[in-house]
Every structure is written in structure tokens, then in C-alpha cells.
């Protein structure tokens, strides 16, 4: 079945949905979660695999063909590869991706690739074990790197992206090691500007190490050439001038890319968010479990998406940080 395209009130066609499959995580990253963790949702509050599949099916009929599964940490969700397989089998899912901290990749890489996951983003904020521990509060870098290596053995999983959050006072020491990493291994390293979604609410505009600062630091040692930016792409991608790899920059604070944003998000308990920084959500789980028809769900989704924010205003005067942290929204 085909339905009319999903369009927001600013004329943007929505083609990408990011779905949090759990709010739980085995890390406690400083930019995401407090050291003591957060209260977890009860299992009954989290969308079932069948409920997620129904929503993805409906969204696919409206032209939302790109699906990214996130958390918390998605690989801690029991039988997660089975969900990936259920979604990959849907005719309207053209691109299925996973964002993970990599801790369980050594265990699950083969199963996820076999299930049909086409793209992987692995979060690594430092290549030094002690600094990785300082940021994530987990001594897990060797295991994450083993998981990355296990994933890289599958040609169909490439290109693999390695994401590093850029925080002033921390990431400066990581810039050149990550540049060398991107040149020596078949991964695209992407620096993501620190966003005001931390649980400790310590974010300030001054704490953002901008993508342009990082690009300039790399270019001084390894000349870079910018690649064309695809419509709705979040990253500015640069090739190393000598052809040895590439590196990307996601700059939501210093260079917002809201104008052609085509993304929506669904939280682990089934709330639709039209922007990462939304202050309002639309409950889909309640109607789902109350027996709503697909047409009724479609109307709910369309009404919410019509009100999608024009831009997020992060870092600008008057900005209000969402009550949810990144881990509770879905990365």
C-alpha cells in the first residue's frame, strides 16, 4: 500500500526515522547520562518488536524509507538482531542502520549483518584507554575496538562510521590520533559537536569544540578536500587529499542543517519527536495499544509532523533544553 508523502508545515518531505529500541545503556557517557544512571522504563512501557514493525510499515507507506535503530544502547535489547531482521524484510525499508557504542558488537556483528543491517555508526570518543574511561565511565575501549574489527570483516557493512563527540578541553588531544585512525583503517571518523542534551546540564556554548576548528587542525597536517554534500545529509565530508580515507563533521550548533531536515524520532516508549530538541511529543503507544487503525495512526503522525519545528535554536538566546537527555531520546 502507498500513502501520500509525509510533509511538514515547511514543505520538507520526511524520509528518515530514528527509533530508540531501549532507554537502557551499559555506558555512562558524560555528555549523555549521569554517573549513577537514570531510572529505566519498565519493560511493559517499551514498544514491542511488533509495535515497532507496525509503525515502520506505516511510515514506509508514507515515504519514510530510511530507518536508524538507536538506544540507549540498542544491542542491550534482548533479541535485537531479530527486530533488525523483521524491519529489513519490510518492502519499504530501503536503508537500515544502527548506532551503537560497540561494546557488544563482537558478539552481535555477524547476526546483525545477516539480519540485513546495512550501515553502522560506532561511538568512540577517545582512542586512549584512560581517556575513553574518563568519558564513558567504563573501561571498555579494547572490547569496542574488537567489536569494530569484527564488524569490518563483513564487506556489506562498509562504510563504517566512527562517531566522536567534540568537547572543548577534551577532544583537542584526540583530533590527530583520530585523523590517523581514519587514514589507516577503513572507517570514516565523524566529529559531532557537543549538544545541550546532557543529563548533568553542564553544557555551555563555550564547551563546544566546533567542526571548523577540528577541520582546520587536521588540514594543517593532512590536507583535506570537501566532498559534495547530499541533500538532507547531516555531515560535511572531506577526503584526505592524498586519497587515504575520509573524515566528516556534524555541526548542529555552529552550522545547523535544519533547512532540509527530513528526520523524525520515536522514543523507546513510543513518543514521536519531530526534532532532537523538541519540547513536545506525540504519544503513539497509547493509541497503538488501544486498537487504533492505521488510518487513525496516520492522522496522528501527520498532525504532529505538520507542526515540525523550522529549526532548533540550540546555543541561541532563549533556547530551552529539552527535559529528556540524549539517552532517553535516542541518539
3-state helix/strand/coil string of 281-302: CEECHHHHHCCCCHHHHHHHHH
Instruction: Label residue 194 by pLDDT band (50, 70, 90).
Output: confident
- What pLDDT, on a 0 to 100 scale, did the predictor assign at position 323? 67
Quote the CA–CA distance of 326 and 73 in Å, as a whole number: 11
161-165, 262-266, 310-314: segment of lowest average pLDDT: 310-314
Is 200 a residue whose pLDDT tops 70?
A: no
- What pLDDT, on a 0 to 100 scale, did the predictor assign at position 325? 67
Quote the CA–CA distance of 100 and 123 in Å, as a whole number: 6
CA-to-CA separations, 179 to 15, 130, 163, 250, in angstroms, rounded: 31, 19, 12, 15
DSSP code per residue over 41-105: PPGGGSPPHHHHHHHHHHHHHTT--EEEEESS-GGGSTTHHHHHHHHHTSTT--EEEEEE-STTH
Span 211-253, pLDDT tens digits: 999 999 999 999 999 999 887 788 899 999 999 999 999 998 8
Show me where the domains of the chain are located: 16-329
Give percent above pLDDT 90 in the chain: 76
Place of cell 513518543: 271
Residues in the chain, overall count: 331
In angstroms and rounded to an integer, the radius of gyration of the C-alpha atoms of the chain is: 19
- What pLDDT, on a 0 to 100 scale, did the predictor assign at position 197? 65
Mean pLDDT of 112-120: 98
Do 285 and 51 touch, CB atoms closer than 8 A? Answer: yes
Quote the CA–CA distance of 230 and 260 in Å, as a whole number: 11
- What pLDDT, on a 0 to 100 scale, did the predictor assign at position 234? 84
Give the distance from CA 128 to its chain's centroid.
23
Quote the CA–CA distance of 77 and 197 in Å, as a whole number: 23
Predicted structure pTM score: 0.93
Classify domain 16-329 at the CATH superfamily level: Aldolase class I (3.20.20.70)
- What pLDDT, on a 0 to 100 scale, did the predictor assign at position 319? 65
Is 70 a residue whose pLDDT tops 90?
A: yes
Mean pLDDT of 265-290: 93
48-57, 192-201, 287-296: segment of lowest average pLDDT: 192-201
Amino acid at each position: 500500500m502507498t500513502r501520500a508523502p509525509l510533509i511538514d508545515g515547511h514543505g520538507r518531505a520526511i524520509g528518515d526515522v530514528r527509533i530508540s529500541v531501549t532507554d537502557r545503556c551499559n555506558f555512562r557517557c558524560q555528555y549523555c547520562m549521569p554517573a549513577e544512571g537514570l531510572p529505566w522504563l519498565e519493560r511493559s512501557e517499551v514498544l514491542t518488536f511488533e509495535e515497532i514493525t507496525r509503525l515502520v510499515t506505516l511510515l514506509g507507506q508514507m515515504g519514510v524509507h530510511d530507518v536508524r535503530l538507536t538506544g540507549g544502547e540498542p544491542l542491550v535489547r534482548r533479541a535485537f538482531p531479530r527486530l533488525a531482521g523483521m524491519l529489513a524484510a519490510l518492502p519499504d525499508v530501503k536503508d537500515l542502520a544502527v548506532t551503537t557504542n560497540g561494546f557488544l558488537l563482537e558478539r552481535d556483528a555477524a547476526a546483525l549483518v545477516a539480519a540485513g543491517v546495512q550501515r553502522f555508526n560506532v561511538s568512540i570518543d577517545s582512542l586512549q584507554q584512560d581517556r575513553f574511561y574518563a568519558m564513558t565511565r567504563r573501561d571498555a575501549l579494547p572490547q569496542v575496538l574488537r567489536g569494530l574489527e569484527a564488524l569490518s570483516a563483513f564487506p556489506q557493512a562498509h562504510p563504517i562510521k566512527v562517531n566522536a563527540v567534540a568537547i572543548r578541553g577534551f577532544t583537542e588531544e584526540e583530533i590527530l590520533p583520530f585523523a590517523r585512525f581514519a587514514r589507516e583503517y577503513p572507517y570514516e571518523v565523524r566529529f559531532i559537536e557537543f549538544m545541550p542534551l546532557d543529563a548533568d546540564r553542564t553544557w555551555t556554548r563555550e564547551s563546544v569544540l566546533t567542526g571548523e576548528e577540528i577541520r582546520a587542525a587536521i588540514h594543517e597536517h593532512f590536507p583535506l578536500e570537501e566532498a559534495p554534500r547530499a541533500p538532507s545529509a547531516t555531515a560535511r565530508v572531506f577526503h584526505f587529499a592524498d586519497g587515504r580515507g575520509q573524515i566528516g563533521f556534524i555541526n548542529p550548533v555552529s552550522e545547523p542543517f535544519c533547512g532540509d531536515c527530513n528526520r523524525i524520532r520515536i522514543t523507546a516508549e513510543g513518543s514521536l519527536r519531530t526534532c532532537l530538541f523538541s519540547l513536545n511529543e506525540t504519544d503513539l503507544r497509547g493509541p497503538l495499544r488501544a486498537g487504533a487503525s492505521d488510518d487513525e495512526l496516520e492522522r496522528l503522525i501527520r498532525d504532529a509532523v505538520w507542526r515540525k519545528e523550522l529549526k532548533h535554536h540550540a546555543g541561541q538566546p532563549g533556547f530551552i533544553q529539552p527535559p529528556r537527555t540524549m539517552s532517553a531520546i535516542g541518539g
